[in-house]
Structure 1
Amino acid sequence: MSELRLRAARPGSGIRRTLAEVRLAGGDGRPLDVVLEDGLVADLRPAGTGPVEGEVTDAAGRWILPGLWDFHVHFTQWAQTSRRFDLSGTRTAAEVLAAVDSHTAPTSDAPTGPDEPAVGFGFRNALWPDAADLAAFDRVSHGRAAILIAADLHCVWLNSAALWRYGHSDSATGILREEDAFAVLQSIDSAPESVVDGWVRDAADAASARGVVGIVDFEMAWNLESWSRRIAAGAIALRTRFGIYPQHLDRAIEERLRSGQILPHTHGLLEVGSLKVITDGSLNTRTAYCVDEYPGLAATEHPRGVLNVPPGELVSLMSRARDAGLESAIHAIGDQANTHVLDAFAATGARGSVEHAQLLSADDIARFAALGVTASVQPEHAMDDRDVAERYWAGRTDRAFTLRSILDAGGTLALGSDAPVAPLDPWLAISAAVARSRDGRAPWHPEQSISVAEAIAASTRDGSTTVRAGQVADLVLVDRDPYAATADELRRMPVSATILNGRDTFTSL
């Protein structure tokens, strides 16, 4: 697939045409000229034929694909992650505390002052061989309040100063889960909006450099306001479809928002998404709601995980959203939670997606197609969670991350990252979905792998893998043939240019 990439007109500069010489994915390999006009792919021609008008850029043998989407992100948190100290390489509680000690020591170059909480991100405590020790945490914090965020966002670890600040002084370990953790996450941001918006713009530019043209943002905020403000200030690198949480449902209904509605004065970039409901927890926090008990948790309050939203309440929320013209995007990770969610889709006739769908009962796999519900999945989580799953979902991992089975049953996949849980890079998701492997390890349940074409289709807005006349000119040019790439090459796929609505958002040409 050889592409020539053409520069489209900027808004307000009038109609201009761009020619790109490109071999299309899945085509016969012959170079084509791609004509872009008014933000659309106006024509495809054999290379070198027809009149050449406007500006021409030579793709020099590169490959062209439809622009890529990440269908599940928490974008503000992703933008903030680079400003938090990194805990992703830790494997024990002791290693986490050593990182805290290093970051909060008086000689540290930490970017925040001593009165600001020290915030770290990325620990995974499901397989820690040692326990969370609050007294030890306090000793290494050097008088600073400290908040540590788990990679799955469903758990935080606070020292005593932070526990006091957030009203949890009675916690024996400092570990908070689910709703308590979400409340902390929503309240820790102290930077001004303009600063955070700058970080968001940087993160959007970085996403464009990986071929991303659009995201579905499930930040736990009133996202219409945030993104309208950002776009007005010039953040126009991404299309954004935003989620609406239950606490904002009344406001969305009052403002007559409808799923798929494009908001005015946003350059056509901001779209109303779905009602987002979090019904259960996560695997790493052992709060995903399952049929079977978690090993070692039988004597606890929630041995099978946590059901955050009872089935009756879920049906009520989804019914209200449906009646208002809103789709539903429902978080479910454990097999029992997924059954409840699919039951709610069946009861309400709502349209939308199950977000994550990590562990499914055998009977539920075919229900995605039968109900017309999209499985919005994050293949890189399978690489992060395979060892945790083998321990806590022992004997059931053949039903975990069942991408192949969902497709074979006629279902639809949408790939995402859940950034910052995994990096916002669709090539990582594509590689994980295809290879079920990372870091040289043997493939994990390779029977659930899907093809490169299927993974790319699940990473584009309309499920396409080719560029066609008449489609919106959201395109990406890459330096390597994705259909001939190894799993590692897919992960490192070099992107040369990203075009959104006929204009460059990234180029290295």
Structure 2
Amino acid sequence: MRSTLIRNARLVPVRAGDVAPDAPVDVTVEHGAVTAVGESLARPANADEVDAAGRWLIPGLWDQHTHLAQWTLTSQRLDLAGARSPEDAIRAVAEWIATYPGLPVIGWGHRSGGWEREVTVSELDAVSGETPVVLISGDGHHAWLNTTALMHLALPVRDSVVRETEWFAVYPRMATLVGNDGTSPEAYRRMLDVAAGQGIVGMVDFEFGASMDGWLERWNEGCDRLRITWATYADTLDDVIAAGLRTGDTLPGCDDRATMGPLKIISDGSLNTRTAWCCEPYGDAHRLEYPAGQPNLSGAELRELLARAHAAGLEVATHAIGDAAVAQALDAYAATGAGGSVEHAQMCRREDVRRMAELGIRASVQPGHLLDDRDLTDRIWGERSARSFAFRWMLDDGVELALGSDAPVSPLDPWLAMAAAVHRSADDRDPWHGEQAITVAEALAASVDGQPMVRPGSRGDLVLLDRDPLLRDLDQSDTAALGTALRSMASAYTMVAGRTVHDQTA
């Protein structure tokens, strides 16, 4: 492995207590780690040299919650993010079929939670005929299929959407409709290159129906640009335990950039699908079979899974969006002694935020969701929206915060996530519950996988930026300006484990 000397870089304080030098410094990276930081360092023999030219140097960024196969496929799917009604979606399907006759239609991104009525299979059948159609909701928790697609995927024919556990189970069979071209090694490499250009050095992959072998195959086909943490679900947990893998271990056949992650459990549903489990009914509960949503697992089932994972040395990442689901997840962590995270934690009671801190459970959150969910949350959760995406509570109460995207539910863009956490608005409106906003410095600290300011011993996962990421030249009270500046950030240079994976410094 070649060494690298980065010259003339400005260090950025990341954690409380970090004190950056006033002037640019040199940074030596050897054997995948930072070995020296100082002025006018000697260049190691045979080392590459990068002139930072006064750019700002930070630890590499992480996206702590992704679905990477789905993200690579998104560019090949019918984009329904702009559909404001069932009629909009049906019209888009008809146009797609006319343009690409004979090809299955896979759509992504519609938000039916804001539509005025429920959809039916029969109205999709009317415009699609024998062409299979699968329209996946923007939250990934349900899909609207036509009859041809239902039959092809061996699902019972019905006139309604396929939700939650039933949908998650059938998703891996989508390859029988569309093949695997969209998740080829070449497609993954393109995706990883895009991420590297944003300053991302690592991602946690929560893909449904995936296996360790899939990453081993991709790794050996050149998809080893970034760090990957692979999570298991309950259906592959036995295989992980049998292999003796613990969280943090290197995946078999890979190097230490590809590691075993947590057991992922989806304990409730989503806001858009009205299946997130809440302590009180939804505002439109009269439309719902389950007025307050429902859990996907009983408390006993959840505890059993946590206990098995914990005994095998695995952390647990528990998807919990509604406040009732968050409370049950924390009960299970407390009862079993398991560690890990609550994924999403979209609506929490203050007492449960404090319990999260006491138990040492991370809040793995996706600020981009608040931009999409703002209006729907106000409409169906009402005053409870004041405790949605409660990042300020979490930090004030001592919860470790880890930012991600849930890509492709939200764009795989760490700067967008930071901007959303800081400004909490995607348009000209005032920040949504601005009292829950966090600072730019706090957002950056929640995006670097717990790493401090670059120093000897730091991972060789580094990013050079053309602008100070703390935006200290701007008024810190003008969150709109801060958000705009954050969204315009990109990496000039990205290094992973001492290897250059993106370079725009020339």
User: TM-score when scaled to structure 2?
Assistant: 0.92
Contact preservation (8 Å) 2:361, 2:400: yes
Match status 1:366 vs 2:359: no
Matched, 1:349 2:342: no
1:302-317 alignment runs, 5 A limit: 302-317=290-305
1:425-469 Cα deviation digits (max 9, x unpaired): 1111111111112133310111111111111111112243x2111
**Which of 268, 271, 292 in structure 1 is aligned with 2:259?**
271
Query: Counterpart of 1:364 in structure 2: which amino acid?
Result: D
Deviation of 1:264 after TM superposition, in Å, equals: 4.6
The Cα of 1:194 is off from its aligned counterpart by 8.9
Aligned partners of 2:69 and 2:183 also within 8 Å: no
Alignment of 1:115-194 (within 5 A): 116-173=103-160, 175-189=161-175, 190-192=178-180
Alpha-carbon separation, structure 2, partners of 1:170 and 1:228 = 37
Letter of the 2:166 counterpart: D
Once the two structures are overlaid, the 10-residue window that deviates more, 414-423 or 255-264, is 255-264
SS in 2 for 1:358: coil
* Distance of 1:367 and 1:195 partners within structure 2: 40
Amino acid at match of 1:471: S
User: 1:150: how far off?
Assistant: 0.4
**Does the CA contact (< 8 Å) of 2:231 and 2:260 recur in 1?**
yes
Q: Cα gap change, 1:168/1:56 in structure 2, threshold over 3 Å: closer, same or farther?
A: closer
Helix, strand or coil: the match of 1:249? helix
Task: Confirm or deny: 8 A CA contact 1:499 1:506 kept in the other structure.
Answer: yes
Indicate whether 1:32 and 2:25 are aligned: yes
Task: State the one-letter code of the partner of 2:77.
Answer: R
SS at match of 1:226: helix
Aligned position for 2:483: 487
Deviations 1:362-391 (A, max 9, x none): 210101110010000000101110111101
Picking from 64, 85, 96, the partner of 1:71 is 64
Q: Give the distance between the partners of 2:288 and 2:399, measured in 1 at CA.
A: 36
Give the C-alpha shift of residue 193 in structure 1. Answer: 6.9
Per-residue CA deviation, residues 91-139 of structure 1 (Å, 9 max, x unaligned), is 111111111111011xx1x3xx61x421010000111134424333222
Output the CA distance in 2 between the equivalents of 1:207 and 1:289: 33
Q: Which residue of 2 aligns with 1:383?
A: 371
Give me the whole-angstrom Cα distance separating, in 1, the residues matched to 2:282 and 2:378: 11
Decide whether the 8 Å contact of 1:278 with 1:331 is kept in 2: yes
Task: Please say if residues 73 and 182 of structure 2, whose CA atoms lie closer than 8 Å, have aligned partners that are also in contact.
Answer: no
The amino acid of 2:251's aligned partner reads L
Supply the distance in 1 between the matched residues of 2:309 and 2:118 (Cα, whole angstroms): 42
- 1:4 maps to none
Indicate if the aligned counterparts of 1:69 and 1:459 stay in contact, CA closer than 8 A: yes
Asked if 1:330 corresponds to 2:343, the answer is: no
Per-residue CA distance 1:8-54 (angstroms, 9 max, x = gap): xxx3xxx53423211111324411111122221111112x3555753
Question: Does residue 231 of structure 1 match 2:206?
Answer: no
- The one-letter code sitting in structure 1 at the alignment partner of 2:172 is Q
Encode CA deviations 1:192-239: one digit per residue, 9 max, x unaligned: 479533212211111111111101111123431111111111111111
Matching residue of 1:448: 436
Q: Distance in 1 between matches of 2:226 and 2:3?
A: 22
* Contact 2:346 2:388 (C-alpha < 8 Å) held by counterparts: yes
List per-residue Cα deviations over 1:287-324 (Å, max 9, x = no partner): 00001111232464311112101110010111011111
Counterpart in 2 of 1:6?
none
For 1:16 and 1:279, the matched residues in 2 are separated by: 45
Q: CA deviation at 1:166?
A: 3.0
The counterpart of 1:220, out of the listed 201, 208, 219, is 208
- In structure 2, relative to structure 1, the CA distance for the partners of 1:302 and 1:424 (3 Å cut) is same
Secondary structure in 1 aligned to 2:460? coil
What SS does the corresponding residue of 1:481 show, helix, strand or coil? Answer: coil
Q: Secondary structure, in 3 states, of the residue corresponding to 1:366? A: helix
CA distance in 2, matches of 1:276, 1:17: 37
Deviation at 1:177, TM superposition (A): 1.0
- State the match for 1:259 in structure 2: 247
Offset at 1:265?
3.6
Aligned to 2:502: 506
**AA aligned opposite 2:36:** D
For residue 214 of structure 2, what is the amino acid of its counterpart?
S
**1:420 is paired with a residue of what secondary structure?**
coil
- Percent identical across equivalent pairs? 42
Are the structure 2 counterparts of residues 49 and 227 from structure 1 closer, same or farther at C-alpha, using a change threshold of 3 Å? closer
Match of 1:421 among 409, 429, 438: 409
The one-letter amino acid of 1:181's match is W
Paired with 1:449 and 1:360, the residues of 2 have a C-alpha distance of 15
Rate the CA distance shift 1:332–1:441 in 2: closer, same or farther, 3 A: same
What's the C-alpha RMSD, in Å, of the aligned pairs?
1.8
Q: Which runs of 5+ in 2 are unaligned?
A: 14-19, 475-481
Q: Which moved more, 1:201-210 or 1:294-303?
A: 294-303
1: CA distance, partners of 2:239 / 2:230? 14
User: Is 1:85 equivalent to 2:78 in the alignment?
Assistant: yes
> Contact 1:104–1:142 at 8 Å: present in 2 too?
no
Alignment equivalent of 1:204, drawn from 181, 192, 204: 192
Output the amino acid matched with 1:31. Answer: P
How many residues are paired up?
487
**Partners of 2:283 and 2:454 in 1: CA distance:** 49
Question: Unmatched 5+ residue regions in structure 1?
Answer: 1-10
Contact map agreement 1:69 1:212 (CA 8 A) in 2: yes
Greater CA drift, 190-199 or 239-248 = 190-199
Q: What is the alpha-carbon distance in structure 2 between the residues aligned to residue 139 and residue 194 of structure 1?
A: 28
Contact 1:123 1:150 in 2 (8 A): yes
**Aligned 8 A contact 1:383 1:436 in 2:** yes
TM-aligned CA distance change 1:121 to 1:222, over 3 Å: closer
TM-score by length of 1: 0.92
Give 1:477 deviation, angstroms: 1.1
Q: Is the 8 A contact 2:139 2:272 kept in 1?
A: yes
CA drift at 1:185: 2.1
Deviates more, 1:280-289 or 1:92-101: 92-101
User: CA separation in 1, counterparts of 2:255 and 2:208?
Assistant: 24
Contact 1:94 1:130 in 2 (8 A): no
Deviation at residue 476 of structure 1 after TM alignment: 0.8
| Superposed counterparts of 1:9-24, under 5 Å | 11=1, 15-24=2-11
Decide whether the 8 Å contact of 1:76 with 1:196 is kept in 2: no
Give the secondary-structure state (helix, strand or coil) at the position aligned to 1:393. Answer: helix
Does 1:457 find its partner at 2:445? Answer: yes
Shift in alpha-carbon separation, 1:135–1:16, aligned structure 2, 3 A: closer
Counterpart-to-counterpart distance in 1, 2:162 and 2:397: 39
CA separation of 1:149 and 1:324: change in aligned 2, threshold 3 A: same
SS in 2 for 1:395: helix
1:56 Cα deviation after fit? 2.1
